[in-house]
């Protein structure tokens, strides 16, 4: 990691004041005028812990990757206020997971942007225009991560991204945001999130222009309800999920994922046995556009040892005609008996593409219908992997990354994972060796008129 750490220790002045005796507190507060006491409410340097203050020096990204309840939202809102008040930042992008999140948390929330300004200095918020106008003329525009394309044109000198770990198209949004962060002498981005082990964050923390602050839920215990803290300690402390959600640690794999890296590593082999069957499984895509999912294409075989073997991951974002050719080529190379495809949406379209590319290919096609959600389909295959019933021949970096990072019901559809699940479901979950008939029963089946 090449990112610079911003991890100053210590309490906030407010916490220090609270730790004094009643007499000492009265003495301090008695030394202030009424006006000074009123202004103290909005003095961030009084309430902030050292970690919550803007990092010194030059930086492009400040990643505040901390546990829930750390105070990330207030930290970013106050930092935006400080930078805007400096007069150096006049065009701000506010990005949240959804439009409702931006409005309810980043802008109007208890720790949101409007709350950190004294009432007389509060900026004008126009939700219908997605715009906040500050008293000095600076303007902030709100964006939903569900619509990353809206960031393609605008220019900014400051951006605040809240909970980017929950964005459905994080990499694409970032690739559109950064080129627009070009105004002013020192444009900056502030990211506040409970981290998840996504490649995006590992890449971000490998940049020298990034500053990292991490912190625990319990660092802000003075401002959190004790029953809540006690419950979190009892249920999450000491677990992988607790490391992520409470301690704000960026883990090597996602504790919410269905697969563990250790399972895959222990199942990795260099060679495979002879196969009873080989299939090519497809999780179709209908477009080659940037925002479209990849077409998941995975080759797998059922070995004579009754284990499933992942042989190739050929997934790609490309045109339907192209992924059909890739699948047919894989079927021929591996002498696969079938090409399995999910036919819930556009089965007729898929058959037509195969017919156009190679009319003879229709004999190998088998359409399957998804009758449960992705998580329920994946669970049996994940369990088989843990039990050593699934092997990985060689390394399949992108597939394995998806297996160990995808969280059910979060983020975009896991195309590679889906294709592998369809393949293993066909080979292991549904496949049963035909029962062996006794000699007499076999005679009966061959000679319909014969009976004992």
136-194 pLDDT per residue, tens: 999 999 999 999 999 999 999 999 999 999 898 899 999 999 999 999 999 999 999 99
Whose tokens are 């979190």? That residue is: 232
Residue 442 lies in a domain: no
Residue after which a domain boundary falls, among 212, 245, 278: 245
Residue 436 lies in a domain: no
| Cα-based distances in Å from 399 to 277, 311, 313, 315, 420 | 22, 12, 7, 9, 9
Residue 55 sits in which domain range? Answer: 4-245
What confidence tier does 410 reach under pLDDT thresholds 50, 70, 90?
low
Residues 175 and 289 in one domain: no
Residues 240 and 287 in one domain: no
Residue 450 lies in a domain: no
**pLDDT (0 to 100) of residue 413:** 73
Strand (E) or helix (H) holding 299: strand 296-303
pLDDT in tens, 218-248: 999 888 998 988 888 877 777 766 877 888 8
Residues 30 and 103 in one domain: yes
Whether 329 shows a pLDDT value over 70: the answer reads yes
Q: Please state, in angstroms and rounded to a whole number, the distance separating the CA atoms of residues 231 and 263.
A: 31
**pLDDT (0 to 100) of residue 282:** 95
* Percentage of the chain lying above the pLDDT 70 cut: 90
Residues 231 and 373 in one domain: no
Residues in CB range of 346: below 8 A, 6 or more apart: 284, 286
Residue after which a domain boundary falls, among 245, 278, 309: 245
Residues 300 and 228 in one domain: no
**Which stretches within 184-225 are classed as H helix?**
199-204
Residues 153 and 34 in one domain: yes
Q: Please state, in angstroms and rounded to a whole number, the distance separating the CA atoms of residues 156 and 334.
A: 52
Residues 240 and 266 in one domain: no
Q: Please state, in angstroms and rounded to a whole number, the distance separating the CA atoms of residues 245 and 345.
A: 36
What confidence tier does 326 reach under pLDDT thresholds 50, 70, 90?
very high
Residue 452 lies in a domain: no
Q: Please state, in angstroms and rounded to a whole number, the distance separating the CA atoms of residues 159 and 186.
A: 12
Residues 424 and 360 in one domain: yes
Residues 91 and 140 in one domain: yes
| For residues 415-432, average pLDDT | 87
Least-confidence region, from 100-109, 136-145, 281-290, 404-413: 281-290
Whether 440 shows a pLDDT value over 60: the answer reads no
Q: Please state, in angstroms and rounded to a whole number, the distance separating the CA atoms of residues 396 and 311.
A: 9
Residue 451 lies in a domain: no
Residues 237 and 277 in one domain: no
**pLDDT (0 to 100) of residue 232:** 81
CATH number of the domain bearing residue 122? 3.40.50.300
Residue 255 lies in a domain: no
Check: CB of residue 294 under 8 Å from CB of residue 317.
yes
The DSSP code sequence of 112-159 is STGGGS-GGGPPEEEGGGTEEE-TTS-EEEEEETT-GGGGSS--BSEE
Residue 179 lies in a domain: yes
What confidence tier does 287 reach under pLDDT thresholds 50, 70, 90?
low
Strand (E) or helix (H) holding 5: strand 4-5
The alpha carbon of 184 is separated from its chain's Cα centroid by a whole number of angstroms, namely 31
Residues 349 and 388 in one domain: yes
Residues 74 and 41 in one domain: yes
Q: How many domains does the chain have?
A: 2
Residue 413 lies in a domain: yes
CATH number of the domain bearing residue 301? 3.30.420.280
**pLDDT (0 to 100) of residue 255:** 66
Contacts 24+ apart (CB under 8 A), 170-176: 170/145, 170/198, 170/200, 171/200, 172/148, 172/290, 172/291, 173/95, 173/145, 173/148, 174/200, 176/148, 176/149, 176/151, 176/152
């Amino acid at each position: 990691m090449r990112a610079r750490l911003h991890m100053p220790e210590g309490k906030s002045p407010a916490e220090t004041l609270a730790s004094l005796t009643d007499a000492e507190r009265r003495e301090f507060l008695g030394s202030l005028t009424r006006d000074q006491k009123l202004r103290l409410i909005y003095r961030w340097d009084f309430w902030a812990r050292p970690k919550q203050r803007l990092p010194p020096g030059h930086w492009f990204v400040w990643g505040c990757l901390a546990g829930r309840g750390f105070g990330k939202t207030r930290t970013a809102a106050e930092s935006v206020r400080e930078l805007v008040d400096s007069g150096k930042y006049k065009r701000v992008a506010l990005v949240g997971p959804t439009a409702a999140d931006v409005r309810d948390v980043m802008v109007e929330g208890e720790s949101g942007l409007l709350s950190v300004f004294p009432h007389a200095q509060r900026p004008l918020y126009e939700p219908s225009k997605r715009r906040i106008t500050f008293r000095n003329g600076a303007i902030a525009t709100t964006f939903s991560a569900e619509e990353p394309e809206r960031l393609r044109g605008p220019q900014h000198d400051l951006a605040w991204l809240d909970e980017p770990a929950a964005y459905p198209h994080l990499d694409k949004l970032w690739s559109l945001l950064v080129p627009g962060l070009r105004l002013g002498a020192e444009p900056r981005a502030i990211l506040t999130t409970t981290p998840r082990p996504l490649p995006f964050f590992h890449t971000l923390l490998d940049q020298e222009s990034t500053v990292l602050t991490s912190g625990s839920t319990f660092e802000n215990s003075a401002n959190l309800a004790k029953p809540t803290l006690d419950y979190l300690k009892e249920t999450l402390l000491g677990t992988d999920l607790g490391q992520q959600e409470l301690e704000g640690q960026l883990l090597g794999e996602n504790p919410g994922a269905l697969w563990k890296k250790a399972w895959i590593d222990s199942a990795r082999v260099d060679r495979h046995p002879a196969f009873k069957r080989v299939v090519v499984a497809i999780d179709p895509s209908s477009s080659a556009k940037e925002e479209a999912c990849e077409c998941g294409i995975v080759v797998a075989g059922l070995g004579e040892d009754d284990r499933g073997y992942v042989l190739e991951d050929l997934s790609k974002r490309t045109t339907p005609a192209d992924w059909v050719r890739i699948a047919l080529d894989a079927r021929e190379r591996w002498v696969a008996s079938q090409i399995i495809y999910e036919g819930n949406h556009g089965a007729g379209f898929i058959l037509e593409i195969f017919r156009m590319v190679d009319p003879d290919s229709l004999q190998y096609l088998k359409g399957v219908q998804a009758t449960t959600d992705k998580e329920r389909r994946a669970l049996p295959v994940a369990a088989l992997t843990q039990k050593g019933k699934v092997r990985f021949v060689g390394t399949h970096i992108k597939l394995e990354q998806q297996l160990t990072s995808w969280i059910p019901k979060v983020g975009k559809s896991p195309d590679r994972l889906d294709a592998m699940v369809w393949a293993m479901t066909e080979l292991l979950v549904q496949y049963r060796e035909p029962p062996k008939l006794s000699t007499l029963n076999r005679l009966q089946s061959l000679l319909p008129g014969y009976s004992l």
